[in-house]
Homo-oligomer: A and B are copies of this chain.
Amino acid sequence: MSQTPDNAVRTARTETVRAYVEQHRAAFLDELAEWLRIPSVSAQPDRAEDVRRSADWLADRLAGTGFPTVEVWETDGAPAVFAEWPSGEPDAPTVLVYGHHDVQPAAREDGWHTEPFEPTVIDGRMYARGASDDKGQVFFHTLGVRAHLAATGRTAPAVNLKLLVEGEEESGSPHFRALVEERAGRLATDIVIVSDTGMWSETTPTVCTGMRGVADCEIDLYGPDQDIHSGSFGGAVPNPATVAGRIVAALHDAEERVAIPGFYEGVTELSEAERELIAELPFDETGWLTTAKSHGTLGEAGFSTLERVWARPTAEVNGIGGGYQGPGGKTIVPASAHLKLSFRLVAGQDPAHIEKAVRAWLAGLVPAGVRYEIVFGAPTRPCLTPLDHPALKAVAGAMSLAFDGAKVRYTREGGSGPAADLQDVLGAPVLFLGISVPSDGWHAPNEKVELDLLMKGVEATAHLWGDLPAAL
């Protein structure tokens, strides 16, 4: 099959990128290992200095990579690292890469086969806490931008490249939104690239197109002033634990749709094209159930399991409690009951509207004689990039090149993350470029990164920075 000139150029560039990456692979991995030795556990107060050391180390490395501007940004918690490398081209688009330099806790005795903060390469995999989540995936951007320059002969990237690497993601990003709001001017961008996600499998280059958002609330229900005797009073006064149960039952209809009036208002429905792409994925439900440690599937009628976790909003009971929970029985009408509910949201849903809908729905469920309080946490918005968005096409193209032309699959992320704050505050679409795989063991013992896939990440970004200006 003869190649078009364009393809020939692309192939040449692919080879240049790959050669550059191969040439610098060993030094790159040595440097990554150095970073991984810093136990930047944001959840552990006694590691605060390590988190700071991690930020300083990264800032130093980014400066060494060539970023003309590198700053450590203070927050009310752990510091973030910001770096900027302007293109110099007048019409160059701006890209903001998001990642994090803090890691989950880890201790050898949790079941690690190697020291979690002493990176160890075995059979093409580097084992260390943070190898995949997220230091490895942040760090491939350093070599990626150099490979991009090498392949294009440029001295500055074809895009205005910005990096924001926060230090509290594993602690729930408590100060991230405030930081983004405060620095919105510096962070202004056309698109956001999140490098903190994964692929469908080792052999399936994947582009994630969105994440669900989340809104959560706590509901406290108060009946009698204290637990009262169920013989003397039972059957004649409202029981707050019964009310809690009825609220839970009213969350869904018989088809497992969320039954809160107005809940689905504005939902961006899956297109037929997306449903087909999801249906094409080689989904193994038995394997998925094993990962879910669950023993059956149940969800909204008319949708597959993947559609349910990726593209449909949900109402979930995270916790429920009331009355006597100790051993044996106690014949009481409980004084109170408590619910923790969360709602995963998809594109088109407005957390403020959801809160209003839940409040109105709840008010109709609590009988006279029961007092209630409902408190909402700060919501995380959903984000979704349409399949035909030019930036998404560019990301898919770059991934395909890195994987030697393999067909790119499209996934979504069922969870929710701080990237949505970037979308919200900066008004830019969020795209995901990640090379982690399900076996990488995020948050678990023996976290690792596949070194060959890490190099694919380097290659993909090298291609992407070159292709984005024409795409956008």
Contacts and interface: CB of A to CB of B under 8 A. Distances in A.
Given A294-B223, A344-B230, A320 B235 contact: no
A27 interface: no
A329 B318 contact: yes
Interface in A235-285: 235-239, 241-242, 244-252
Nearest to A238: B298
- For the complex formed by this chain, how many copies does it contain in all? 2
Nearest to A331: B342
A238 B308 CA distance: 12
A250 to B, nearest CB: 7
A316 B248 contact: no
Contact of A241 (B225, B300, B320, B328): B320
B317 A232 contact: no
Given A246-B249, A308-B236, A323 B294 contact: no
B309 A337 contact: no
A333 interface: yes
A309 B235 contact: yes
A328 B171 CA distance: 14
Contact of A233 (B225, B229, B294): B294
A333 B291 CA distance: 14
A362 interface: no
Nearest to A232: B414
A405 B416 CA distance: 76
A465 to B, nearest CB: 30
A407 to B, nearest CB: 25
Contact of A249 (B250, B324, B331): B250
Nearest to A413: B231
Given A298-B367, A324-B340, A342-B331, A316 B246 contact: no
Contact of A316 (B239, B250, B298, B317): B239
A337 B340 CA distance: 13
Pick from A231, A236, A292, A344 the residue with the most CB of B within 10 Å: A236
A294 B223 CA distance: 6
Nearest to A314: B235
Nearest to A213: B231
A319 B330 contact: yes
A218 interface: yes
A332 B216 CA distance: 11
A130 interface: no
A416 to B, nearest CB: 6
A224 B293 contact: yes
A296 interface: yes
Nearest to A311: B235
Given A247-B245, A249-B250, A299 B331 contact: no
A214 interface: yes
Given A226-B293, A239-B317, A319-B330, 13 more contacts: A216-B329, A224-B292, A232-B309, A235-B313, A236-B309, A237-B292, A237-B299, A245-B317, A246-B248, A246-B249, A298-B368, A320-B337, A329-B377
In the A-B complex, the 4 residue pairs with the smallest Cβ-Cβ separation, listed nearest first, are: A296-B369, A245-B248, A231-B415, A249-B249
Interface of A: 212, 214, 216, 218, 223-226, 228-239, 241-242, 244-252, 289, 292-300, 305, 308-309, 312-314, 316-325, 328-334, 337-338, 340, 342, 344, 367-371, 377, 413-416
16 contacts: A212-B231, A223-B294, A224-B292, A230-B318, A234-B344, A235-B313, A236-B299, A236-B308, A239-B317, A241-B319, A244-B320, A296-B368, A318-B330, A318-B332, A319-B324, A325-B338
